[in-house]
Amino acid sequence: QPSMRTPHGALLLLFILACLRGAYSGGGRSRFTSIISFGDSYADTGNLVMWADPVLPGLPLKNLPYGETFFGHPTGRATDGRLVLDFIAEALGLPSVPPYLAKGSNFSAGVNFAVVGAPALNLTYLQGLNLTVNPPINSSLHDQLAWFQKLKPSLCKGQGTDCFESSLFVMGEFGGNDYISFLLSNRTVEQARPYVPQIVDSISRGVERLVQHGAKYIVVADIFPIGCLPGALTKLANPNKVEYDRHGCLKRVNRLARYHNSLLRQQIMMLRYKYPHTKIIVVEYYKPFLAFLDMPEHFGLNSSTT
């Protein structure tokens, strides 16, 4: 729900800044001079809408109500306001992170490779499993990392090996779209579950590639309780009330998300041991999302805003 993201952004932001407090210099000023982002609709600041029109005609993101509550016009964000990434940039005193496909943009203070609908696994692989991928474009984590590698020489011009010493890398979330592809392709949770290690491994390898490229500070996001998302609730509607939790979310689907998040934490922990000089943290989307369902009034939400 777009209008839910502002307080959610604040929650995640506070956690990120607390975890990265060691990355701050004296005087309360952030040492970060740029943000480099990878992800899906929860981070895309305009890449999908800049994709070639013949491939993706008539995108709703190009019209109101998208963008109406903050920018006053559609910006390519999958929300009526700002994203978590926008709040992070604001808190660090940096400009909004421009999308990679905005050719001619100034990427000196950051670049955003995130694309709405991006999966962790490659399009050809998912389609090879006879899964429906929406949108059917090459925007996976692997593709975004290829964009990064292509842009890296211009990002690092004349800076040598210390190029990313003051850059904050934001990875994800990734995985949610992979599981949604399974569920919307008439696969069961049980059929999707064996692919969780592969999806998490793809994210972990992506993080490791960033470390090898010189990243010093990396934030890795877990995934939402996808059993609470409208698509899953509609596609997997069940007359048996025991299938739902007290929030009205599908328990089996949320167990899949928790399994993903548990494996992700294990993988990131191993990377932290392997690369002790790089600060890598996992931040939560899962629990804050449920907090909104538990206490909507606390976050300024009521029947008129949801």
* Domain-embedded: residue 139: yes
* C-alpha closest to that of 97 among 191, 168, 198, 189: 168
Q: Which two tokens stand for residue 6?
A: 């502002």
Segment 252-277 mean pLDDT: 97
* Domain-embedded: residue 293: yes
Q: Which two tokens stand for residue 65?
A: 């109500």
Least confident of 23-27, 111-115, 151-155: 23-27
Segment 203-220 mean pLDDT: 97
* C-alpha closest to that of 129 among 185, 190, 203: 185
pLDDT the model gives residue 12: 57
Bridge partners (DSSP) listed for residue 112: 37, 99
Label residue 301 by pLDDT band (50, 70, 90).
Answer: confident
CB 113 within 8 A of CB 138: no
Tokens 């939560």 appear where? 284
pLDDT the model gives residue 277: 95
Bridge partners (DSSP) listed for residue 110: 35
Per the model's pLDDT, the better-predicted residue between 298 and 251 turns out to be 251
Tens digits of per-residue pLDDT, 84-124? Answer: 999 999 999 999 999 999 988 999 999 999 999 999 999 99
Assess whether pLDDT exceeds 90 at residue 193: yes
Label residue 52 by pLDDT band (50, 70, 90).
Answer: low
Q: Say if residue 162 is exposed, middle or buried (CB neighbours under 10 Å; 0-12, 13-18, 19+).
A: exposed
What is the distance between the alpha carbons of residues 118 and 178, in angstroms, rounded to a whole number?
8
One-letter identity of residue 201: D
* Mean residue pLDDT across the chain: 89
pLDDT the model gives residue 84: 92
Indicate yes or no: pTM above 0.75. yes
pLDDT the model gives residue 183: 93
* Domain-embedded: residue 76: no
Label residue 171 by pLDDT band (50, 70, 90).
Answer: very high
Q: Is the dihedral of CA 136, 96, 17, 4 positive or negative?
A: negative
Helix (H) or strand (E) holding 91: helix 84-91
pLDDT the model gives residue 53: 61
Segment 143-162 mean pLDDT: 90
* C-alpha closest to that of 102 among 50, 63, 38, 42: 50
* Domain-embedded: residue 175: yes
What is the distance between the alpha carbons of residues 57 and 72, in angstroms, rounded to a whole number?
23
* C-alpha closest to that of 224 among 143, 293, 160: 293
Domain with 256 in it: 116-299
Helix (H) or strand (E) holding 287: helix 286-294
Assess whether pLDDT exceeds 80 at residue 56: no
Per the model's pLDDT, the better-predicted residue between 19 and 191 turns out to be 191
Q: Which two tokens stand for residue 18?
A: 């607390």
Percent of the chain clearing pLDDT 70 (strictly above): 87
Assess whether pLDDT exceeds 50 at residue 304: yes
Per the structure, the count of domains in the chain is 1
* Domain-embedded: residue 216: yes
Label residue 17 by pLDDT band (50, 70, 90).
Answer: low
CB 103 within 8 A of CB 116: no
* Domain-embedded: residue 100: no
pLDDT the model gives residue 161: 73
Q: Cα dist. 281→89, 103, 220, 221 in Å? A: 18, 31, 6, 8
pLDDT the model gives residue 3: 37
Percent of the chain clearing pLDDT 90 (strictly above): 76
Segment 203-230 mean pLDDT: 96
Strands across the sheet with 217-221, in order?
110-112, 34-38, 167-171, 217-221, 279-283
* Domain-embedded: residue 111: no
* Domain-embedded: residue 125: yes
Tens digits of per-residue pLDDT, 33-44? Answer: 999 999 999 999
